[in-house]
Each structure stands twice: as structure tokens, then as C-alpha cells.
Amino acid sequence: MDMVQTEKLVFEYEKRDEEGNVIGSSRAIDQVDIDVKEGQFIAILGHNGSGKSTFAKHINAILVPTEGTMWVNGRNTGDPDELWNVRQSAGMVFQNPDNQIIGTVVEEDVGFGPENLGVPTEEIWRRVEDSLKAVGMIEYRHHSPNKLSGGQKQRVAIAGVVAMEPKCIVLDEPTAMLDPVGRKEVLKTVQKLREQKKVTVILITHYMEEVVDADKIYVMDHGRVVMEGTPREVFSRVDELKSYRLDVPQATLLADELRKRGLKIPEGILKKEELVNALCQ
Amino acid sequence: MSIKLEHLNYIYSQGTAYEKRALNDVCLEIPHGEFVGIIGHTGSGKSTLIQHLNGLLRASSGELYYNGENIYREGYDMRKLRNEVGLVFQYPEHQLFEIDVLTDVCFGPKNQGLSPEESRERALEALRLVGLKEKYYQSSPFELSGGQKRRTAIAGVLAMRPKVLVLDEPTAGLDPKGRDDILDQIAYLHEKSDMTVILVSHSMEDIARYADRLIVMNKGAVMYNDEPKKVFEHYRELEEVGLAAPQVTYIMHDLVKRGMSVRTDVTTVAEAADEIMRTLVHHCTNS
């Protein structure tokens, strides 16, 4: 089944003068067709200002299309009557964990979402426990979020989304502010959620290493989808990626470097294990 | 010409229930003209440390010398210190506020007491240094892309012609090209002038590429202070404190485990390629 589907999606920001009159518009998303199946792990790459975050905000109807249509879990996001159903289907995690945590105790923060959905109290506690376990933060349930590390805070933010039991989680640069171990923690958590809860994951990031396990990568530029394919397909087009201000994982870059120096190394290397295997044959 | 920290301690909310020791007996010396990297997990004291360098925070105890002068001495000219030690905070673009890019960058030198003409000259120079195209000088800073905003904000500090440039995660949230552009530009500035650069980063790959020396902070104390190559040899210890080595360093260690005799003190892609080629050629001529 399709989890997220768009047809010729267009979004325009209106420019206004000081009196609030519209003086023009700029197109942030331009005729995007994307199709995400249930349970898939999708990555969206693109430079700053390419339209990725604007696109992400459509998935739980923070923004609605100017033209074209988006369906989330079969529901049209442009239909005001479907708003709550759309938001319940897709949860979002943003870049800065400090802007997403509102509770003074970890478990209260996680319970905020389901409480707002009108979930019965008993059920809220079950979900809080369940989602804190899923992100590996259950032993911190009575702690204050302020005292947690960046990676831990971000995991609490993810638990808050998981507690709403969405079918799809959209993560908009969730690791940009984290140290290396925090980054690893968040990615492992996302991986685990996919396996255990079969949620669909849409990850937006500037770290190429984080998307090597994705089922599919979309590359955006000037509001359009300019490349799509498996990580192996996309990352084998090094020069094209660089023209969109992107990069490839370090293992891929090193394999490329070695190939340029005359070494016979297969194309499409993404992970360090693959490179080590290729070199030690 | 240097910055020297002697037994520096800093305690937040001292004397209250929230008391927290953020810096613990930090002793460091940063000679003039060095490119120094600082890494550490979230909450390790990096940002607290750098805010001491231009006197924004005052140590609870210990001394800080700038060019041999104790900045905590009575009557020390803090204004002069802040003119010489430029601090670029995390997400500096949040501090842009003027009506256009050029005016925003003029703000620093104008505050230093320079005439409007001089300020403008300094601002133009700084904008050229960060590589922002001239067509944007009259734009509102809010119309720029993330990378352009970041450059404008860095230009705002450079326009004050600091002798020491301190940057707190200048590339967080930027796309790969934006990341490389800004760091290349800073490295170029460092090479061209004799400016000291202190770079705080969560990217081990960036630090490995640019820094002459690497300071690792953990729990408010200095854990390592050495050449990046030597620091990254302790990759296991680094992982225990929330950090890592660059990816290529791990590749080299894995190759050794599989019986290839490559050096493991390699931290950049180009170095790794050279080292692997050297080993393979050597191997072939021997067998």
C-alpha cells in the first residue's frame, strides 16, 4: 500500500510587503511525484534551500499543497476534514531536540502526544512505557529532559512521536546537532523501530553515511526531484551528486580515489565493510 | 602572542542546588597562528570553554592570559580583548538583524568606533573573504540560503579583524558543499593571515582535514591535547566519551585486522588512498 504519495505537488511561498499585500511568490516545491510504500525506509537529500523541509512539512499537513495533491495513508492532506487523520498517520521529528521537548519529566513529555489524541489514561501509560522501551530510554522515565545528552533528548522526542502510534515517521535532520555517538544512537533507534513496529521512515539528512541502508533515495534541487534510486545507484553518480552540492560516504569516496589510482575496485561501494572485503580478496 | 589557561575552573549556579562544574582544572596553551580543533560530546564543556576566551564568562577560579596579560587583572581592557578575539556562536545566522547584508556586516566595525567609510571598507573586505557574491550585498539577510546566511554572520565577525577567530560548530546543518566551502575559506584565511583559528566541531572528518592540533574535552576537563593523528589513535577511548575517529581511520584498522600491513594513523581520504596504494605496490614487488 502507498503510505505517502504525491501527484504534481507544487508549493509556493507568498512574498508580502510591509502592509501584508502579496507582492510575489517563490516556488519551493515544483511538480514533485513521490511514492512511498508502507514499511519502506526513504531518504531525501538536497542542499540547503532545495525544498526538502518544505516537502517534509506537507507529510503531516503543517503545509498544504498550492497545486497538486498529496495523500498520506490514503488521505488527502488538503482536505481539512482529514487533518487529524493525516497527523495521526505521520509524526515528525525535527532538528533541535530542545525545541520539541515540553514536559518537565521524560514520561510526561512522551505522554503529551497520545493525551492530545484523547487516548484513555491506562492506554497512555502503556504507550509511554512501550515507546520509551523502543527507543532505549525507559530507565530515564522519571528524569528531567534538561539533564539528558543531545542524543538522549532526540530519542525522547522520537518516543513522543512513537507514542502516537503513527504509521510513518518523518525525521528532518534529526542528527545535525548531535555528537558522533548521539548520531549513532538515533539511527539505531530508527532502525529498531522499522524492524519492530514496521513503521515507514522518511529521513532527511546532510550526512551521506546515514542513508546507505535506505530502500530508496530522492535527491532534491530547486524544489524538484532530480535523482532517485537505491543508495548504490545514486552514490555511484559522484560527479552528478557534487553538482547538487552533495557528497558520497567516505568509503565510497576512498574507493573512487583508489580506482582513479589504477586499482580494480568494484563500483557501488557504500560501507567500510564492503571496501575492506574488496581490498582483501 | 598566545592564549594561556591556568587551572581554569567554572561552576554554573555556584552556591545553589543547581550547582554544576562545567570546567575542571583546564590548563591549555594556544600559540599564535595555530589552527586548533576542539571536540567533545554534548555537555562536555566545549562551549563554556570558548566563552572564556573573550571574557564572556569569567572563571570561578584560575587564570587566563592573553598575550601574557592576565585578563582577570583589575583594569584589564576587556573591550580590546573582545575586539581581538572574535567569537562565532552556533547558528550565528540567528543573530542577523539588519535591513541588508552590508549594513549587518558593518555593525561590528561601527561599534569598534570606526567611521562609516572605514566600516564599509572592512565589511566589503570581510564579505569578499567569505566568498559571498556581490549581488547579495543589498539583499535582506533573511532572503539568503542557510549557507549564505552563515557566511554573512561569519563576515560580521571577520569585519572586526580579529587576531583570534573562534567558531562554535560553524557547519552544523549545512549541506556538504556548504560545509566544505566555509571550512576551505577559513583554512585559506588562516594560511593567508597569521590569524589563530579555534574550531569546535562534531565532525571528526572536518577536524582531521583542517586542524594542526586537537583538544578533546570530557566532563569539563582536557582529555587529549595532541596532533589529530595521535588523538585519533585512541579511537576506543574516544567512543567511550561520545566521539569517534574519522571513517577512514576505521577502514585502516579493519584492513590491519584482515592482514594488510597499512598504517593506522591515517585520518583523511587522500592519505588513506596513498597508504593503501603504497602497501599494495610494496606487497606486489615483494612477492
φ and ψ of B157, to 5 deg: -80, -40
Over residues A118-142, the mean pLDDT reads 92
Query: Between chains, do A179 and B40 touch, taking CB under 8 Å as contact?
Result: yes
User: Min CA distance, A268 vs chain B (Å)?
Assistant: 17
Domains in chain A (CATH in brackets) are 2-230 (3.40.50.300)
Give the pLDDT confidence score for residue B287 in this predicted structure.
Answer: 47
User: What is the average pLDDT across A54-59?
Assistant: 94
Q: Which residues of chain B have pLDDT under 70?
A: 1, 283-287
Q: Give residues with Cβ within 8 angstroms of A35, minimum separation 6.
A: A2, A4, A5, A6
Over range A87-111, report the average pLDDT: 89
Say which residues have a Cβ less than 8 Å from residue A59's Cβ, sequence separation at least 6.
A4, A70, A72, A77, A90, A92, A168, A170, A202
Cell of A178: 548531535
Residues 6+ apart with CB under 8 A from A4: A34, A35, A36, A59, A70, A71, A72, A90, A168, A200, A202
| Threshold 0.80, pTM exceeds | yes
CA closest to B245 among chain A residues: A180
Query: Can you tell me the ipTM of this complex?
Result: 0.81
What count of other Cβ atoms lies within 10 Å of the Cβ of residue A245? Answer: 23
pLDDT for the residue numbered A48: 85
Note whether B174 contacts A180, CB cutoff 8 Å.
no
Interface of B with A in 217-276 (CB under 8 A): 239, 242-244, 246-248, 250-251, 254-255, 258-260, 269-270, 272-273, 276
B284 φ, ψ (degrees, to nearest 5): -65, -40
pLDDT at position B284 is 57
Pick the closest to residue A43 from A171, A157, A177, A135 (CA basis): A171
> A19 or B4: which carries more pLDDT confidence?
B4
- The C-alpha of B36 sits at a distance from chain A's nearest C-alpha, in angstroms, of 18
Closest by CA to A272, choosing from A257, A254, A246, is A254
pLDDT of residue A123 exceeding 90: yes
Cβ separation of B202 and A149 shorter than 8 Å?
no
* B214 vs A103, more confident: B214
Is residue A232 pLDDT above 70, yes or no?
Answer: yes
Residue A269: which pLDDT band, with cuts at 50, 70 and 90? very high
The reply to whether residue A47 touches residue B270, judged by beta carbons under 8 angstroms, is no
Grid cell locating A233: 545507484
| B169, B174, B177, B180: best to mutate for the A interface, most A CBs within 10 A | B177
Any CB–CB contact under 8 A between B204 and chain A?
A: yes
Measured between CA atoms, the residue of chain A closest to residue B173 is A176
The whole-angstrom separation of Cα A155 and Cα A191 is: 12
CA angle (B201, B136, B159) in 5-degree steps: 55
Interface test with B, best of A48, A173, A264 (most B CBs within 10 A): A48
Which residue pairs, CB below 8 angstroms and at least 24 apart, start in A257-266?
A: A257/B269, A257/B270, A257/B272, A257/B273, A258/B273, A258/B276, A258/B277, A261/B273, A261/B277, A263/B276, A263/B277, A263/B280
Give the angle B7-B232-A232 at the CA atoms, nearest 5°.
Answer: 140
Q: Judge: A276–B176 Cβ closer than 8 Å, yes or no.
A: no
Q: CA nearest A244: which of A263, A211, A221, A261?
A: A221
